Structure 1
Amino acid sequence: MAAPLSAWPWENLGIYKYLLYGPLLSKVLYTRIQEGSFKDDWCLHILIICAARAVLHQLWSTFVNMLFLTSNLRINQQGYDFKQIDKEWDWDNFILLQALIASMACYMYPPFIENVPLWNTKGFITILTLHVGISEPLYYWVHRCFHTSDLFTKYHSIHHSSPVLHPFTGANATFLEHLALTTVIGIPIIGSYMMGYGSRSMIYGYLLVFDFLRCLGHCNVEVVPHQLFDALPFLRYLLYTPTYHSLHHTDMGTNFCLFMPFFDAIWKTLNSKSRELHKKISSSAGKDRRTIPGFVFLAHVVDVTSSLHAPFVIRSFASLPYTTRLFLLVCWPGAFIAMLMMWAWAKTFLISFYNLRGRLHETWSVPRFGFQYFLPFAKEGINKHIEEAILRADRLGVKVISLAALNKNEALNGGGTLFVNKHPNLKVRVVHGNTLTAAVILNEIPKDVEEVFLTGATSKLGRAIALYLCQRRVRVLMLTSSTERFQKIQKDAPIECQVYLVQVTKYQAARSCKTWIVGKWITPREQSWAPTGARFHQFVVPPILSFRRDCTYGDLAAMRLPDDVQGLGNCEYTMERGVVHACHAGGVVHLLEGWSHHEVGAIDVERIDLVWKAALKHGLKPV
């Protein structure tokens, strides 16, 4: 049974909890309709403050997850996993709680908010005095009380259960704890008003600065330069740092302060390692102190809206499979401007990482969008960015770098062959991962299938699938208008199997074939030639539209990562949690097996079964 006041009153409402803001919004709209303008209404101010606080937390979250900016200053190098993200999903409960308390206070005591000036200098001095003299020591002792065994187990352990600090971690606490925190926040505000020094700017300023400092302490990125404390030593007792607060989560008997280490110093709970650790991490600015990853997956953005699925945009959205949502349309203009900025200042950047069996795996992204790969004049620039990423990985000592779908396009760079030929002494292994992609698709096809229809038949994957199936005595209808390319593939098959490869030039040839393998995007009209009950397997990006209700559609080739993955907190495009594209998984297998060859260019059909068995051996599973 849960402890009293540990659960939130609206815990079971889910997203409908935001309806509790309804009365405030209704009051604002009613005033607007009745008086023809937005007057200085306390309901309006409460809503604006709530929105500003939410935006402030989101901006901190965005900054923290910009690994290409913050990776060398991270205190804990571990990633945010799905478990932590889910646990902190309702981090904004405290904003709703304080909004409801503020609205009740203003309703019950109207003089509190009447004739309040915009600015009052004495109010800022008063609220600062009350904060330092009352709120700071009060929080210190309340915090220490929550660390006693009984209260910690029932309440405070939730806050400490997040393995890696994040701005949302500071807000992740029980209902009782936030009631106590609301008291700590409310005392300086109410005290200033009762003394006659209240102002609107004071409320806005105090709440936003309070939230800013809370996010600062929980951001896991050391942003306070140690030189500041070297020049002004007394400041280290007036302002805590992310490093300082992180020690409280590793050594819970120390560093209890709200924002001012002065109170830890006078009550002898100051962690002796605080200054040393702060200087060590702060000195890493401009240096790369990350553990060198064993594997890098070089991704790319599919389109403008999918760029909003990056972990540094909205963490909760990135932790779910990508799907089109209404807010994406609202954010599209901003994402488009960001795309233009990336064109102007374009560098490969780190977007996520996770650990698999003690080896750090990172995802880097080429700052190019899907449609750019099909612009003839963009080819050279894209290859330049991919080459720079490969050379950077080589300098760092990365073992394997795997190329995502369009980064290994045959027309772009020959499936990575261009880079291997240009730099024959590369230590990093360049992998397109298509061998495992082919294995995944082939293992989806029932063993008793006698005929398949294959589009994209002369691509790397199409060729490998056709050659593999014909050796299984499966008749492959290869859709291609190029007789020359078809015959070249047919000659690669054993003589006795060549009869199973059949060239077709129209979709009508597959009207009786129930197994379609789609490697080239097909329209709903082209799908209409498939018979009822057909199954569409596919290896085309983006996936084809599920147009036929009387047919079934396979997902893009993918594999589920092993259960011992740590720090994985974002979904790969439309894939489920813990699932990655097969080409990504192919690079992982390459690393785990310790293979020393490059996997570029044409797929070695003889290795398909070998790679598949290796993937299963290492705990990867078909979806």
Structure 2
Amino acid sequence: MASHVILAPWVIHSTWLLVANDGKERDISYFLILAVVLWRILHNQIWISLSRYRTAKGNGRILDKGLEFEQDDQILFNALLFYTGAAVIHPFAEHIVYSALFFIPILGTILTRTTSVVSFTAYITYIDFMNNMGHCNFELIPNWLFSLFPPLKYLMYTPSYHSLHHTQFRTNYSLFMPIYDYIYKTMDKSSDALYETSLKREEETPDVLHLTHLTTPESIYHLPIGFASLASRPYTSNWYLWLMWPVTFWSMILTWIYGRTFVVDRHRFDNLKLQTWAIPKYKLQYYLQWQNEAINGLIEEAIIQAEEKGVKGEELNRYGGLYVHRHPNLKIRVVDGSSLAVAITLNTIPKGTTQVLLRGNLTKVAYAIAFALCQKGIQVVTLHKDEYLKLTKSFSSTESSLVLAKSYAHKIWLVGDGLSEEEQLRAPKGTLFVPFSHLPQKNCAKINWLPRRVMSAWRIAGIVHALEGWKEHECGYTMSNVDKVWQATLQHGFQPLIITPKISRSPSSKH
């Protein structure tokens, strides 16, 4: 927001001068600075997305350290300290020194009256390119380039070369040109070895694969490979996203034509390597019959690809029984996470509850929750006769605990997909909403992902499945033992988000 306040007067002023003046009085170069700024933003974002994608994928990766989003907060904190006049040197001050050094060639062109917008843009682009390349965390400079022209080794640094400056601290000081490190004997002895190792590093094989999908066309910007500022706020829609509709549209066309899953994230839990793959299909497409074949094909292709890589377990956002039936000899274990979702929902309902309202589409999880509650003697209320008949038909022995009602006056709501906003507003004040769907209502979800230690039940289920070494699939109409999964999840350190009943019509909860 501060950057908007700083830049807004200049943007308005430069635009006004361009529009109001004409002829020789019009200063186009002053206005073109805005275009240069926008180009630098785009250039840097391309490198950020590419770096995070390649880091998640693993081939050519230099450092295995994960991305911590607290670093973004630290940058803001350092900036605040700098502006309030801190007495110690902060990393932000280094950027001022860098800017002063990089400004020397520009100052030379100004003094010799040979400067131009083109030369300025080309020089800044080169600086940004080299700086981003040095910090991209994957090796991309081919070995044949140095074999073809050996002196280039001392005239251009590589990402692996500069990474040693950040890990060893007292070596590889020179930016862009290693020849100065060679002259002053500050070149790290392991530079060549790290370069060769990183260049030969192959794509990482995960132990657990989480398969997810996009929700809306704009959701691609919320992925870790998108905008870092949006990655923690899945439901946030900023005004500038509307300005990016041309990019959004072409991303839709690209996913439509290319149509393959892609890596978006990686994690490590104990000794397990975890990856997240995204299917280039949107939430709406999962409800369209004519899209079923294409979606099933993408999921099946992802499962086969994971099988070939030797993945132990795969978490699906859908049931996955179809793919296990088609490939009965799969070594990979397909887990849809239903049992853990049921366990969390049951253990979130406050003790002493005698009646709950079940709303949303009747899914595998909804049936399991209703059945478990009825066995405990807790009444499950439905508002539609067709839902009531489906439930009674599924477990007739407990139908006495099923209630068909017309009133919304219930304090505990179990909500899934299909709950309309109009129905939600009918809930009395103080109602506790407990979502059990993959994508709960916007105001029924805990979406604050900072610090990055919040995970969905569907993802955790696959991790626990792999940690326990369970051999059975959990997909289709099969479900693991709810109590066994719940206890194993707690033993591995996962804790459910505590939901308090002191909630109005806009509750927050997250599995």
Given candidates 118, 126, 130, the residue that maps to 1:213 is: 130
Rate the CA distance shift 1:61–1:88 in 2: closer, same or farther, 3 A: farther
User: Are the aligned partners of 1:320 and 1:577 in contact in 2 as well (CA < 8 Å)?
Assistant: no
Question: How far, CA to CA, are the matches of 1:274 and 1:592 in structure 2?
Answer: 37
Deviation at 1:529, TM superposition (A): 5.2
Counterpart code for 1:455: R
1:67 to 2:66 alignment: no
Deviation at 1:200, TM superposition (A): 3.2
Counterpart code for 2:51: V
Q: SS at 2:109's partner residue?
A: helix
Deviation at 1:435, TM superposition (A): 0.7
Find the counterpart in structure 2 of residue 499 from structure 1. Answer: 400
Find the counterpart in structure 2 of residue 514 from structure 1. Answer: 411
Question: How far, CA to CA, are the matches of 2:98 and 2:128 in structure 1?
Answer: 12
Question: How far, CA to CA, are the matches of 2:425 and 2:73 in structure 1?
Answer: 42
User: Are the aligned partners of 1:490 and 1:501 in contact in 2 as well (CA < 8 Å)?
Assistant: no
Deviation at 1:36, TM superposition (A): 4.2
Question: How far, CA to CA, are the matches of 2:236 and 2:110 in structure 1?
Answer: 48
Count of residues paired in the alignment: 490
Find the counterpart in structure 2 of residue 203 from structure 1. Answer: 120
Question: How far, CA to CA, are the matches of 1:531 and 1:400 in structure 2?
Answer: 42
1:488 to 2:405 alignment: no
Identity value in percent? 33
User: Are the aligned partners of 1:304 and 1:332 in contact in 2 as well (CA < 8 Å)?
Assistant: no
Question: How far, CA to CA, are the matches of 2:457 and 2:134 in structure 1?
Answer: 39
User: Are the aligned partners of 1:458 and 1:480 in contact in 2 as well (CA < 8 Å)?
Assistant: no
Deviations 1:199-253 (A, max 9, x none): 3322222122112111111111212111100111011111111111112222222
Rate the CA distance shift 1:92–1:216 in 2: closer, same or farther, 3 A: farther
Q: SS at 1:516's partner residue?
A: strand
Find the counterpart in structure 1 of residue 237 from structure 2. Answer: 324
Find the counterpart in structure 1 of residue 255 from structure 2. Answer: 342
Instruction: State the TM-score, normalized to the length of structure 2.
Output: 0.87
User: Are the aligned partners of 2:235 and 2:442 in contact in 1 as well (CA < 8 Å)?
Assistant: no
Superposed CA RMSD: 2.9
Question: How far, CA to CA, are the matches of 2:291 and 2:418 in structure 1?
Answer: 22
Question: How far, CA to CA, are the matches of 1:314 and 1:449 in structure 2?
Answer: 43
Deviations 1:288-334 (A, max 9, x none): 2x2x3221110101111222211222122113453222222222332
Find the counterpart in structure 2 of residue 121 from structure 1. Answer: none
Highest CA radius of gyration, 1 or 2?
Answer: 1
User: Are the aligned partners of 2:171 and 2:188 in contact in 1 as well (CA < 8 Å)?
Assistant: yes
Counterpart code for 2:487: K
Counterpart code for 1:294: D
User: Are the aligned partners of 1:516 and 1:537 in contact in 2 as well (CA < 8 Å)?
Assistant: yes
Given candidates 345, 366, 369, the residue that maps to 1:465 is: 369
1:447 to 2:365 alignment: no
Q: SS at 1:384's partner residue?
A: helix
Q: SS at 1:466's partner residue?
A: helix
Given candidates 488, 491, 496, the residue that maps to 1:617 is: 491
User: Are the aligned partners of 1:521 and 1:544 in contact in 2 as well (CA < 8 Å)?
Assistant: no
Question: How far, CA to CA, are the matches of 2:45 and 2:190 in structure 1?
Answer: 30
Find the counterpart in structure 1 of residue 14 from structure 2. Answer: 28
Q: SS at 1:390's partner residue?
A: helix
1:276 to 2:193 alignment: yes
Counterpart code for 2:220: S
User: Are the aligned partners of 2:207 and 2:274 in contact in 1 as well (CA < 8 Å)?
Assistant: yes
Find the counterpart in structure 2 of residue 357 from structure 1. Answer: 270
Unpaired runs of at least 5, structure 2: 498-511
Rate the CA distance shift 1:226–1:88 in 2: closer, same or farther, 3 A: farther
Question: How far, CA to CA, are the matches of 2:372 and 2:76 in structure 1?
Answer: 46
User: Are the aligned partners of 1:453 and 1:510 in contact in 2 as well (CA < 8 Å)?
Assistant: no
Find the counterpart in structure 1 of residue 224 from structure 2. Answer: 311
Rate the CA distance shift 1:455–1:480 in 2: closer, same or farther, 3 A: farther
Deviation at 1:85, TM superposition (A): 3.2
Find the counterpart in structure 2 of residue 248 from structure 1. Answer: 165
With 392-401 and 481-490 compared, the bigger mean Cα shift is at 481-490
Find the counterpart in structure 1 of residue 508 from structure 2. Answer: none
Question: How far, CA to CA, are the matches of 2:113 and 2:362 in structure 1?
Answer: 80
Find the counterpart in structure 2 of residue 391 from structure 1. Answer: 304
Counterpart code for 2:11: L
User: Are the aligned partners of 2:213 and 2:279 in contact in 1 as well (CA < 8 Å)?
Assistant: yes
Deviations 1:402-424 (A, max 9, x none): 012xxx1xxxxxx2111112212
With 215-224 and 191-200 compared, the bigger mean Cα shift is at 191-200
Find the counterpart in structure 2 of residue 437 from structure 1. Answer: 341
Question: How far, CA to CA, are the matches of 1:213 and 1:92 in structure 2?
Answer: 24
Find the counterpart in structure 2 of residue 110 from structure 1. Answer: none
Find the counterpart in structure 2 of residue 523 from structure 1. Answer: 420
Q: SS at 1:622's partner residue?
A: coil
Deviation at 1:443, TM superposition (A): 1.4
Rate the CA distance shift 1:375–1:230 in 2: closer, same or farther, 3 A: same
Rate the CA distance shift 1:78–1:319 in 2: closer, same or farther, 3 A: farther
Find the counterpart in structure 2 of residue 535 from structure 1. Answer: 432
Rate the CA distance shift 1:70–1:24 in 2: closer, same or farther, 3 A: same
Rate the CA distance shift 1:189–1:619 in 2: closer, same or farther, 3 A: same
User: Are the aligned partners of 2:17 and 2:27 in contact in 1 as well (CA < 8 Å)?
Assistant: no
Find the counterpart in structure 2 of residue 56 from structure 1. Answer: 43
Matching of residues 374-413 of structure 1 within 5 Å = 374-404=287-317, 408=318
Q: SS at 1:72's partner residue?
A: coil
1:578 to 2:483 alignment: no
Rate the CA distance shift 1:444–1:200 in 2: closer, same or farther, 3 A: same
Deviations 1:330-381 (A, max 9, x none): 2233223212211111111110011111321110111111111122121112
User: Are the aligned partners of 1:25 and 1:43 in contact in 2 as well (CA < 8 Å)?
Assistant: no
Counterpart code for 2:345: I
Q: SS at 1:185's partner residue?
A: helix
Deviations 1:93-112 (A, max 9, x none): 9xxx9xxxxxxxxxxxxxxx
Instruction: State the TM-score, normalized to the length of structure 1.
Output: 0.72
Q: SS at 2:377's partner residue?
A: coil
Unpaired runs of at least 5, structure 1: 1-14, 98-152, 159-172, 409-414, 547-553, 559-569
User: Are the aligned partners of 1:226 and 1:278 in contact in 2 as well (CA < 8 Å)?
Assistant: no
User: Are the aligned partners of 2:355 and 2:381 in contact in 1 as well (CA < 8 Å)?
Assistant: yes
Counterpart code for 2:454: V
Given candidates 169, 174, 180, the residue that maps to 2:92 is: 174
Question: How far, CA to CA, are the matches of 1:232 and 1:535 in structure 2?
Answer: 69
Deviations 1:107-128 (A, max 9, x none): xxxxxxxxxxxxxxxxxxxxxx
Q: SS at 1:174's partner residue?
A: helix
Deviation at 1:464, TM superposition (A): 0.8
Question: How far, CA to CA, are the matches of 2:78 and 2:356 in structure 1?
Answer: 51
1:597 to 2:472 alignment: yes
